Each structure stands twice: as C-alpha cells, then as structure tokens.
Amino acid sequence: MGTRQWRLPAALAALILLGASACGGDDNQGNQTGANLQMYAFSSSAAEDAALNAAIAAYNKLGRNTVRLNILPEYDTALQTALAGGQPPDVFYVNDNKLPDLARAGALEPIGDKVDNPDDFYESLRQSFTFEGAYYCPPKDFSTLQLIYNVDELAAAGVQPPKTWEELTAAAQKLTKPGRPGLAINPEFYRWGVFLAQAGGWPTNSDVTKMTMDTAQVRQALQYVADLHKSGSAATAAAVGTGWGGEALGKGKAAMTIEGNWIVGAMKADFPNLKYAVAELPAGPSGKATMAFSVCYGVAKASKNKAAAIDFVKFLTSSEQQLAFTKDFPVMPSRKSLSEQWLASKPELRAFVNGAAYAKKAVFIPGFAPVVDSMNDGIQGLAAGDRTVDQVVMATQQAGQDVLK
C-alpha cells in the first residue's frame, strides 16, 4: 500500500532531476550527418504546409539527416516555451520582427553566411536578420506591400492605378460610393508605414538609436492618410465589417487595398471569381517606398546538432528548393537571381518583386514592440478621427524615447 503513495512524488522528483540534468548544454557542433533534427514552423496556408512537407521529404530522402516537422498553432508561445525550457527545436521559423529579441536573448546561432552564395540574398532582407553586426539566419522568402485593386471597378470608373499621392486621392475619391470607401487599409504601422517612407520619414533613424517621429515628413504622411479617412474615401477594414483588406476587396467593400503577397493565396481560396490586379504603390513626396516582411530559418544556439541543422538550412535555401517552395505559395524567393524565374509563371505579380528594390525593413530593436503598439493605437485614433496628428506623433516619439534611452 505504501509504495503506491510514493509513486507520484517519486516520479515528480525524478522528472525534476531529469530536467535539471538536461539543462547543461555544450557548444558541440555535432556531426553533419546521421542526426535527428526537429523543426518548428507556423502555417500561413495549406499551400505552405504542402510546400514545406515536400521540401522536408526531399531532404530526408537524401539520407544525410532525418527532419521531423512540427507545424504549431500559437507558434510564438510554443517556441518561447521550448526556448525557455532549454530544449529548443534545432531549426525554426523566425519572424523578422522577433529577430532582435531572439538575438539579444542568445537563442540563435549566427549562420547567415554559412549558406551557399550568401550575397545572392536581397541586401534589405539580410539587414532584417542582422542584429548588432551579426547576420543570424538566411531569409526563407519575403513579401512586400503593394496596391491591390478591383480591375472591373477601376475600369468602370475610368480610373488608372494611381502613381502619385494626388492621383491616389483622386482615385480613392472617384471609387467611393455612398457608405463605401474606395480604399480600405488596416489601421496599423505595418500598412501606414509605407506612407511614412514615401514621405521620407520613418519612426526611427536607420540604426534605431533615435526617434524621428517628430519630423515634418512623418507629420505630412500621417496627415495625408488621416485626411483620406476623414474625407470618407478611405476607411479601416473593420469599419466596413471585414477583418482585413483582402476580405474588404473580395466582398466588394472597397475597390483598392494595401496588402502583401499573402493576398494571392487568400483570394484564390476565398474569392476565386474576383478580378484583381497588383500595382506598385503610388510614389510620395520623396519617391517610391514600401515595406518588406520576411521569415528566416533560425538554428538554435542550444541545438546539439548544429552542423546537421546548417546542412538542412543550406538545402532549404538552395536555389532549387526556394523555387519549388515559392511556386504555389505566392511569397517570393529571397535570392535575387531567382526573381525572373519566379515571375515567369506569375507575371501579374511583378509589382511585388519590384518592391524589393525600395522596401524598408520593419525591424527595430529588442523591446520595441510596445512602441509599435503605441503607434498603432494612435493610427487607429487617426483613422477614427478622434486624435490629431500632433497627439500621435508626440505620444509615439515619447514612447520610443523611453525604450531607446
């Protein structure tokens, strides 16, 4: 009878001891072959799942190492728990905006330059995954923001895709019907930021040491977009009862929106009959500008099979695999040399590729997320018309200075 009572505490004690002994890692690189690797990824669509599974099956077939894939919902939480427990997956997706936090915490092995022909990757993407001089991980692919519009509506209204802010104002106005805006944009920095960049402004200076919200350029950009909302020719996706720009476009709740490559997959799945096209965003006072978003293949510093993990990442970022991966899943290869091959089967998406030349990275420093939150809060206020540009600029400037100093 007594033994039964002791089983639980004994098991618990054993667990704790096991956990403690497992914590002591070493810096061994491990063998390049014969390892069992674990990979964590998030899923943006069924198409991405299929592409990733195919890539892993192809790698496993080579017989060098065996990769087991975990596609996780609530990805950030799951990854964080694994990292905090000291037993992270060997290879995992890293969102560009998470990179500074992960790099600062020492979770990543810098392997960016260890893949084949590293200079082939777009410079702006490499910068997104560089923190304090170290280039941590090779970008797996990328997306840029551009103007997506309803072809039939623009044709019916006799409107050409706008090339300047003035034309955008006029086009949005012309496409606006009673109770329905011409342009729908999500009220957040990761959309409105393109206007900041087009006006020559940005929340921070280029090395993220100083806030530059309180500048004429940022004020001009915010005022421009706020005025579009005030006049009724632009509105948030939520204000027209939709979750995001793509849904607004698909349901006919707007004629134009600003979104990235992901809209292609979503439209195919949800609104296959809508005729839409992608145009480059209109140029602002300081020219063309957009934002790029990317994800990289990170290798955990705590991994015991780093050499094998690097071999696997090398495989994934090879030209052949990148092209296969991005074929059905409409993000773009992160290697410059592949862009024309990628476009051969999707010429209608050229605007997204063109964006790579003038895209800004939307990555700041560790702990910057609350500042972006604060800016989003202000942008929501501007879109709703209950804040002034001055209030938003000053609040974000202040919030940023708290974090940067």
Partner 1 sequence: MALFRKRSRIHGHQSLAGWLFVLPALAGLGVFLLAPILMAFWVSFREWSALAPLDTSTPIGVKNYHDLLIRSGIVQTDFARSLRNNLYYVLGVVPAQTALAFFLAVVVNSKLLKGKAFFRTAFYFPSVTSSIAVAFIFVFLFSPSGVVNVLLSALLPGVVETVWLNEADGLIHLALGWVGVDSAPGWMGGKVMGLSLWDWLSGPSVAMSTVMILAIWTTTGTFMLMFLAGLQNIPEELDEAALIDGATGRQRFFKVTLPLMRPTLFLVLTLGIIGTWQVFDQIYAMTAGGPQKTTLTPSYLIYREGFENSAMGRAAAIAFILFVVILLFTGLQRLALRRNG
Among 12, 57, 216, 357, which residue interacts with partner 1 (rule: CB under 8 A)? 12
Q: How far is the CB of 242 from partner 1 (least distance, A)?
A: 9
- Angle 324-326-327 (CA atoms, 0-180°, nearest 5)? 65
Contact 249, 257 (CB under 8 A): yes
134 binding partner 1? (CB under 8 A): no
Stretch that binds partner 1, among 52-60, 199-207, 222-230, 239-247 (CB under 8 A): 239-247
Among 14, 57, 62, 84, which residue interacts with partner 1 (rule: CB under 8 A)? 84
Contact 258, 185 (CB under 8 A): yes
403 binding partner 1? (CB under 8 A): yes
Please report which helix (H) or strand (E) contains residue 4, including its range. Answer: helix 2-22
Give me the phi and psi of 340, to 5 degrees please.
-70, -40
Contact 322, 294 (CB under 8 A): no
Q: How far is the CB of 377 from partner 1 (least distance, A)?
A: 5
Q: What is the spatial distance between Cα 352 and Cα 363, in angstroms, rounded to a whole number?
A: 19
Q: How far is the CB of 302 from partner 1 (least distance, A)?
A: 8
Which burial class, exposed, middle or buried, applies to 73 when counting CB atoms under 10 A from its CB (0-12, 13-18, 19+)?
exposed
Among 3, 8, 61, 132, which residue interacts with partner 1 (rule: CB under 8 A)? 8
14 binding partner 1? (CB under 8 A): no
83 binding partner 1? (CB under 8 A): yes
Contact 315, 299 (CB under 8 A): no
21 binding partner 1? (CB under 8 A): no
Contact 59, 308 (CB under 8 A): no
402 binding partner 1? (CB under 8 A): yes
238 binding partner 1? (CB under 8 A): yes
Among 34, 85, 166, 348, which residue interacts with partner 1 (rule: CB under 8 A)? 85
Q: Judged by CB, which is closer to partner 1: 31, or 401? A: 401
365 binding partner 1? (CB under 8 A): no
Q: How far is the CB of 398 from partner 1 (least distance, A)?
A: 8
- Angle 26-30-31 (CA atoms, 0-180°, nearest 5)? 170
Among 241, 320, 340, 345, which residue interacts with partner 1 (rule: CB under 8 A)? 241
Question: Rule CB under 8 A: which of 375-394 touch partner 1?
Answer: 376-377, 380-381, 384, 386
366 binding partner 1? (CB under 8 A): yes
Q: How far is the CB of 135 from partner 1 (least distance, A)?
A: 19
Among 58, 134, 157, 239, which residue interacts with partner 1 (rule: CB under 8 A)? 239
Mark out the alpha helices in 63-149 (DSSP H runs): 75-84, 99-104, 123-128
Among 52, 67, 72, 102, which residue interacts with partner 1 (rule: CB under 8 A)? 102
Among 57, 367, 390, 391, which residue interacts with partner 1 (rule: CB under 8 A)? 367
304 binding partner 1? (CB under 8 A): no
Q: Judged by CB, which is closer to partner 1: 295, or 353? A: 295
CA 115 to chain centre: 22
Q: Residue 114 is encoded by which pair of tokens?
A: 């260890």
Residues 6+ apart with CB under 8 A from 10: none
Contact 212, 360 (CB under 8 A): no
Q: How far is the CB of 215 from partner 1 (least distance, A)?
A: 20
Among 223, 236, 257, 303, which residue interacts with partner 1 (rule: CB under 8 A)? 236
Q: Residue 362 is encoded by which pair of tokens?
A: 């939307």
Dihedral, CA atoms, 73, 76, 79, 85, nearest 10 degrees? -120
User: At 226, which amino acid appears?
Assistant: A
Contact 41, 52 (CB under 8 A): yes
Buried b (16+ CB within 10 A) or exposed e, 212-228: bbbbebbbbbbbbbbeb
Residues contributing to the site for partner 1 (CB under 8 A): 2, 5-6, 8-9, 12, 16, 23, 76-77, 80, 83-86, 101-102, 104-107, 179, 236, 238-241, 366-367, 369-371, 373-374, 376-377, 380-381, 384, 386, 398-399, 402-403
